[in-house]
Structure 1
Amino acid sequence: MFVSAISFITTTYYQKDSLYSLQLKDKGKFLPESKDQELLELIDITHVIERDLLPVHPDAKLKDLTNLVKISKRNIFPVVDEKKALRGIVTLDDIRDIMFDQSQQDSVFIRDLMHSPPEILLATENMQKAMEKFESSGAWNLPVIENGIYLGFVSKSRIFNAYRKRLIRQKQD
């Protein structure tokens, strides 16, 4: 019994998870540590994608983007090529200084203005991984891709709203 006790203490000191927890983690199963994480895992990333961001082609000119700014309600513009692949993003802050400069309207291309998003979410990722990417990047909006194809953006506020709705629904049940 003494050897078993020492073995158990030594094992739990170096390995916090049980053998069964490790097997589940190896299979990619997530074990929530709290009710918050469990509730967050019920939200599917594809259900919170916002698709109202107006895309612009990398070969488009500044005047094309300025026309999109006039009709858009958002301040992020995904740069998407003809194969629907995300090439970068342009924000309103990126073009604010040159947006109304007529001399640059036809000479500046979107490919020269775009930059990489701080992080990219995959449609297959779980919400816990998505929240980690939001935290590490400090961003409020991140693009979502699936098999290299741009799907839309996910915002922290949209996730918080979905979380709040799930929480209310759970309390009612």
Structure 2
Amino acid sequence: GYTTVVEKLLAGHAQELTDGSLFSVYGDQNVWWLLLLVFCTMLTKVVATSITVGAGGNGGMFGTSLVAGALGGFLFARLVNLTGLVVLPEVHFVVLGMAGVLAGVVHAPLTAIFLIAEITGGYALFVPLMLVTSFSYLITKHFEPYSVYTRKLTLKGVDVYANRDRDLLSRLDLHRLIDTEFVPLRPGATLGELVEVFRHAHRNQFPVVSKGGLLRGVITLDMVRNTLFDDAHYTTTKVRELMQPPAALVCPTDSVEHTLALLERTATPALPVCDAEGIYLGFVTKSTILARYRRELIEEGQV
């Protein structure tokens, strides 16, 4: 337990671990018997807890993590010291071992840092604690995406990331998703000018904007497909006669979640963005939102 193992290791009295054990006869004579006891105790603790938790019981994750981490940290430091190559502070590695194992088991590096620093008073080891817990979390997260607690829920079919999509979308800034590469047209432009724009544009949707920057409507290739190749209308037909009001307008203060819902409801790939005065700012596209959303997933290491 914590009192019999961790406190002795933190006090630097590791040799007392052999007291009352089968190794007590040999512990004072050979340090390897002490290390064998430490290794066996650590292994037994891990196996016993795994069996208990696997059988549906409660093995006490915090206590087990602290003991196993303390034993592992001490074992590593003592083995390195026995090589004579360098002298490591064994007590410090006991603290770091506890933090590392706890961070990996519960997937909570900050909890491990502050908990271990608080119960051991090891605030001088804050930087090493941050490094150890960070590496422990990243490594365990790579091989096991769920903590020991959330894994039980996933095995029961519970989606622990049920609100994850909403959380990710709430992080996105709509201002950074506005696409300004859509070529604006004047209401008085002719069909011939529109055809010329079509030839060089990379989009098939165009905003119709007045001189003051107000959005008057939108025009797409589908709207003018029937008259596009009729030369007779190139000089007589104006854009204002062909444009249509947008299916919906997006305000720059809208959330990305609301914007995505508008795109889904209107079944359009892009919607214009206007401020409160109706000034055209650009378009927001579904592909841009989904691309940014996927990037967020990759950055979280979930894809």
2:170 to 35, 41, 54: 41
Are 1:165 and 2:165 an aligned pair? no
Are 1:135 and 2:264 an aligned pair? yes
- Report the TM-score when normalising by structure 2: 0.45
Distance 2:168 2:197 in 1: 37
Higher strand share: 1
Instruction: Provide the aligned length of Structure 1 versus Structure 2.
Output: 140
Are 1:152 and 2:282 an aligned pair? yes
Note the 1:7-18 alignment, pairs <5 A.
Answer: none
CA displacement, residues 106-139 of structure 1 (integer Å, 9 cap, x when unaligned): 1101110000111111001011111221122111
**Secondary structure, aligned partner of 1:171:** coil
**Given residue 170 of structure 1, which amino acid in structure 2 is its aligned partner?**
E
Runs of 4+ in 1 over 6 A off after TM superposition: none
**Given residue 121 of structure 1, which amino acid in structure 2 is its aligned partner?**
V
Are 1:81 and 2:186 an aligned pair? no
CA displacement, residues 54-86 of structure 1 (integer Å, 9 cap, x when unaligned): 110011111111111011011001100001111
Give the % identical residues: 35
CA displacement, residues 93-115 of structure 1 (integer Å, 9 cap, x when unaligned): 11112112111001101110000
Note the 1:42-81 alignment, pairs <5 A.
Answer: 42-81=171-210
Distance 2:229 2:264 in 1: 34
**Given residue 156 of structure 1, which amino acid in structure 2 is its aligned partner?**
K
**Secondary structure, aligned partner of 1:122:** coil
Note the 1:88-103 alignment, pairs <5 A.
Answer: 88-103=217-232
1:112 to 209, 232, 241: 241
User: What do you get for the CA RMSD once the two structures are aligned?
Assistant: 1.2
Deviation at 1:171, TM superposition (A): 2.0
Higher helix share: 2
- The structure with the largest alpha-carbon Rg is 2
Aligned match of 2:79 = none
Aligned match of 1:15 = none
Q: Which runs of 5+ in 1 are unaligned?
A: 1-32
**Secondary structure, aligned partner of 1:87:** strand
Distance 2:293 2:268 in 1: 18
**Given residue 284 of structure 2, which amino acid in structure 1 is its aligned partner?**
V
Distance 1:170 1:85 in 2: 40
**Given residue 40 of structure 1, which amino acid in structure 2 is its aligned partner?**
L
Distance 1:77 1:136 in 2: 20
CA displacement, residues 34-63 of structure 1 (integer Å, 9 cap, x when unaligned): 011000111111111111111100111111
